[in-house]
Structure 1
């Protein structure tokens, strides 16, 4: 059976909108380039950890404003413009904020908006923070990319009794082809990604395929219970999965052994 990449996605700012991609760079020893680089933090906690510097090391979950703690963040549509490091925020189809995430003035403009939007949630006012090089604000502490299987999403729809958008799981790579839950058996195995037709995916320095090693199965995260369109908590996934499937793991965390550029449609081979 042929496996392939059905979709690629990154999340420039933790808890905010996904950014679908046709091509993505997977960094050796790291994750997907540009993924979870920024976050909204509780101002009091982030200042205590990093002083006035916006570039900060990894923070504990309790210091960050998360989708599971603040589901209404899903009602916003944010767009990240790579070349400018600019994020725009739309609410109800209308742009309500815009700013350069790497500049103090730009961050202040965005923080003003989120301060009003999250006035009952953010402790000490929301603050935009930037991960130090080599670190991210992803849920998993070990660097890597999160891979999920479309057939497993369909099986969750079966036990939940309703449609389930794959972006709920905030994964980087969605694949087509495996049987439901087959990916959970890949822990410890190597995955090689080549361009459709058998040619290696693009990689600087040589024609090697992009290589991943599956490290662990991921427990389903509470953020996945938030409807990405309405901002409502409309699923009890932990209960539905344990009752209907006998487990609560979804997706796998993969270490990037040999990085490079991957593209939707690329072939996925599990060794």
Structure 2
């Protein structure tokens, strides 16, 4: 029997991951509070406050700065977000406060050195995921463990920045699920595409240092750079860790 082992969200695009116990999935929406904010750089292709979705190339991102992959986040009851990194001080900020937005951009500078500087913190009201479409990501712990065994590098789920991690599937069985539907607790998700990976996954999320050519390892194993699935919520409902995950 397959179950939902982890639920992760990433309130600030490319800057921190956090685990939560439950989430309410809304039809046609991303995981709540996932990629709600993003930090635009001086080379961003939009002027003024962002009012809609924009490409990842406008923002601070892990593929360009592996140190970002070691940032962890924790959202407190008052709405503030605490960020930690093995080489930086703890930062607790209210991202709706302009002064705290400046603090975040200053905190990021050592991790984003030598690149177009952070310019602004954006919250356009839509999720700033890599795809314009509202999707959630679903990944397999069995595949993660097998991938680690193949490469000889222990694998953390945070290397792949996924939302929902499933325990109990056979390794790599999810690669055959595109076009199928999953029932997770009361919610249903339609699998629409595999997730093609980028260089951000080369970085160890504990250190922020690149320690594996993940893309080459995936190509050697499967002939592509896919790991995990994109899904669209087709039936809403509150999901929780340990919910049964059923393939329909």
TM-score by length of 2: 0.91
For the 8 Å contact 1:86–1:98, the answer to whether it is kept is yes
1:193 to 181, 184, 187: 184
Q: CA deviation at 1:91?
A: 4.4
Q: CA deviation at 1:217?
A: 0.9
1:170 to 149, 161, 185: 161
Give the Cα separation in 2 of the matches to 1:248 and 1:9.
Answer: 22
Does 2:58 match 1:59?
A: no
Aligned equivalent of 2:222: 245
Does 2:27 match 1:28?
A: yes
Aligned equivalent of 1:127: 120
RMSD: 2.0
Q: CA deviation at 1:67?
A: 0.6
Q: CA deviation at 1:270?
A: 0.6
For the 8 Å contact 1:3–1:176, the answer to whether it is kept is yes
Give the Cα separation in 2 of the matches to 1:178 and 1:222.
Answer: 26
**Matched residue pairs, number?**
248
Give the Cα separation in 2 of the matches to 1:235 and 1:35.
Answer: 26
Q: Mean alpha-carbon deviation: is it higher for 108-117 or for 153-162? A: 108-117
**How far does the alpha carbon of each residue in 1:82-120 deviate from its partner, in whole angstroms, 9 at most, with x for none?**
x43322333448745332111222212322333465342
Give the Cα separation in 2 of the matches to 1:169 and 1:93.
Answer: 21
Q: CA deviation at 1:124?
A: 4.5
User: Unaligned regions of 5+ residues in structure 1, if any?
Assistant: 195-208
For the 8 Å contact 1:98–1:109, the answer to whether it is kept is no
User: Unaligned regions of 5+ residues in structure 2, if any?
Assistant: none
Pair 106,249 (structure 1): closer, same or farther in 2 beyond 3 Å: same
Aligned equivalent of 2:138: 147
Q: CA deviation at 1:159?
A: 2.2
Aligned equivalent of 1:90: 84
TM-score by length of 1: 0.84
